[in-house]
Structure 1
Amino acid sequence: MRDSTQSAIFGALSNELRMSSIANNLANVNTSAFKKDKLAFHDTFVRFAHDYLVDEKTYIRGEKLFPEGHIMAKARLSAQQIDLSQGSMERTGNQLDFALSGKGFFSIQGDGEMLYTRAGNFVTDSDGMLRTVDGNPVMVDGGPLIIPQGGRVQADGSGNILINGEPAGAFDLVDFPDPTQLERVGSNNYRGIDGAAGVPPEEAEVAQGFLEKSNVEVVTEMVSMIETQRAFTMYTKMIQTDQELDNKLITQVGRPTV
């Protein structure tokens, strides 16, 4: 296989993954507190065997034993990261809607594990338990919060909760200074990788009656989509061109002359 063909294949596959990421971002543009994914690229250097023999034995022979090494740089996907930048705030007036300004997450109880989210569009079930729209209990002082029917809920900027004027605890807020410690679970929840635990946030402020909007910018994502589509088309044309050259080499150049 030609080296150019191999590079084009990897380029096309990389742009296919990038297109999937962009499509997922656009699909969640109206999801509360959704955080978009970012893809990073880096150069991968392909080395020949003689590139590793750098110790020239000048005391044995005057001429170099091996020719100069040639290193080719090829762009590859290196990481897919979550962009945790702040989304804009939208006023709803609902007493069970909460938005976080600054860094931090609400703690919620997942299926046998602790999860984290920034989506504060909470609801109550038939028993009055505060839950996410996915049905996960919201953690308040290490446990679920029960709100009596018709109860009036108030929360201050630190996350302290009052129900009918009586203290009911505080949201379990955590922060992950290193975003690489988080992985996405579903569309809007996260978990700590390898049991990584969060720390108390330093800058988080709770706003009641507000929701954080998605940080996806439609125009930016559409431009990236057009750019990705054009790059993918370019790589497929490179593969087709290499195939045509190989066919000519096989059918014409290798043909014996009479």
Structure 2
Amino acid sequence: MMRSLYSAISGLKAHQTKMDVIGNNIANVNTTGFKRSSVTFATALSQSIRGAGTPTPASGTAPSSTGGDTGGTNPIQIGLGTSVGAINQIMTQGSNETTGVPTDMMIQGNGFFALQDGNQVVYTRSGAFSFDAQGYLVDPSTGAYVLDASSTVPQGSTTASPKYIQVPTGDTYSIDATGKVTAYKDGAVDSSAGGNIGIALFANPAGLTSIGNNYYLPSNNSGDSGATTPDNPTLYGIGATSNYPTGTSLVTGSLEMSNVDLSQEMTDMITAQRGFQANSRVITVSDTLLQELIDLKRS
């Protein structure tokens, strides 16, 4: 009975964590570039009542015709509950929301925008950018600068030798599907301005660490930001190198929305709620049984 109590407590904690993750997913259903998370459970340590029994006939030998041999027996174990095995970020593509704002961008395919936020490089799928008073392309919510593809980000580092994208006041501009920003002055190309929007690639995007503001940092399990070689650690320009994934493009005038599926989250919430209720019931029944034992002692 005590085992059932502690197993049920572990179930309550695990399902509470699942509810926390579901609540965060639902809260960010309209957050630009948000990636939902999912929870997987793992069994806790099992207590062995009896180990496995070895068959008495030697391997490949038939049991004796005169009797006395026994077959093998399986172990007897009692599980001691559950735990949270993993909380995984699901990095699938979010839906396209057309805004008509030319500095709003969506990566269709793999990759992350790279931004210089203070003294560190951060990565995001949210392309809600604008030009600031000096003509630099920035994230208006934080002031972080969007990095040009020629910016160097040494492998294993979050600092960069940055190059920013600037369109001087009075110039017009265009942004194409490869992320090339072209500035025009008096109808002619202004070669001193513009740039190419840098894209970072990670071997394991789900291994990135979320730090808020739709930003991520590399972790020990995400890989580096896709630099071609340690001697040439630049960001990618879409389609600029032979090893850049095919089928990836930049959609301007659009934003990538959250990949949260409300119907899936509501279903998961129901199963988490029922799991929590069932574990609560186990605690109630175990308490009743303990009370019965106490009453036997008193009688």
TM-score tier by shorter-chain length is 0.7 to 0.9
| The 10-residue stretch of structure 1 (170-179 or 99-108) with the greater mean CA deviation from structure 2 | 170-179
Post-superposition offset of 1:123: 2.0
Cα distance, 1:191–1:89 mapped onto 2, change above 3 Å: same
Q: Does the Cα contact within 8 Å between 1:12 and 1:232 map onto a contact in 2?
A: yes
Q: Does the Cα contact within 8 Å between 1:41 and 1:77 map onto a contact in 2?
A: yes
Q: SS at 1:248's partner residue?
A: helix
Which ranges in structure 1 are unaligned for 5 or more consecutive residues? Answer: none
Cα distance, 1:68–1:192 mapped onto 2, change above 3 Å: same
What residue is the counterpart of 2:297 in the other structure?
254
Post-superposition offset of 1:181: 2.9
Post-superposition offset of 1:68: 5.7
CA distance in 1, matches of 2:205, 2:50: 39
Q: Does the Cα contact within 8 Å between 1:95 and 1:153 map onto a contact in 2?
A: no
What residue is the counterpart of 1:145 in the other structure?
165
Cα distance, 1:213–1:180 mapped onto 2, change above 3 Å: closer
CA distance in 2, matches of 1:54, 1:135: 67
Q: Does the Cα contact within 8 Å between 1:154 and 1:208 map onto a contact in 2?
A: no
Q: SS at 2:12's partner residue?
A: helix
Aligned pair partner of 2:272 in 216, 221, 228: 228
CA distance in 1, matches of 2:171, 2:293: 80
Post-superposition offset of 1:138: 1.0
- Write the deviation string for residues 162-214 of structure 1: whole angstroms up to 9, x where unpaired: 12244522111012232343111115111110384122541421111111111
RMSD: 2.7
What residue is the counterpart of 2:174 in the other structure?
154
Task: Work out whether 1:179 is the aligned partner of 2:205.
Answer: yes
What residue is the counterpart of 1:189 in the other structure?
215
Post-superposition offset of 1:21: 0.8
Q: Does the Cα contact within 8 Å between 2:203 and 2:223 map onto a contact in 1?
A: no
What residue is the counterpart of 1:169 in the other structure?
195
Post-superposition offset of 1:113: 2.2
Report matched runs for 1:21-40 at 5 Å: 21-40=21-40
Q: Does the Cα contact within 8 Å between 1:96 and 1:153 map onto a contact in 2?
A: no
Q: SS at 1:254's partner residue?
A: helix
Task: Work out whether 1:202 is the aligned partner of 2:245.
Answer: yes
Post-superposition offset of 1:48: 3.1
Aligned pair partner of 2:108 in 101, 116, 125: 101
Q: 1:205 is matched by which residue type in structure 2?
A: S
Q: SS at 2:39's partner residue?
A: strand
CA distance in 2, matches of 1:255, 1:58: 53
Structure that is richer in helix per residue: 1
Cα distance, 1:118–1:220 mapped onto 2, change above 3 Å: same
Q: 2:259 is matched by which residue type in structure 1?
A: N
CA distance in 2, matches of 1:160, 1:230: 51
Post-superposition offset of 1:85: 0.5
CA distance in 2, matches of 1:107, 1:6: 46
CA distance in 1, matches of 2:53, 2:144: 59
What residue is the counterpart of 1:71 in the other structure?
77
Task: Work out whether 1:134 is the aligned partner of 2:142.
Answer: yes
Paired positions, count = 250
Paired-residue identity, %: 28
Q: 2:30 is matched by which residue type in structure 1?
A: N
CA distance in 2, matches of 1:49, 1:128: 72
Q: 2:225 is matched by which residue type in structure 1?
A: G
Q: Which has the higher contact order (CA 8 A, sep 6+)?
A: 1
Q: SS at 2:146's partner residue?
A: coil
What residue is the counterpart of 1:113 in the other structure?
120
Q: TM-score, normalised by structure 2?
A: 0.74
Q: Does the Cα contact within 8 Å between 1:26 and 1:216 map onto a contact in 2?
A: yes
What residue is the counterpart of 1:4 in the other structure?
4
Post-superposition offset of 1:112: 2.6
CA distance in 2, matches of 1:206, 1:182: 22
Q: SS at 1:234's partner residue?
A: helix
Post-superposition offset of 1:150: 4.3
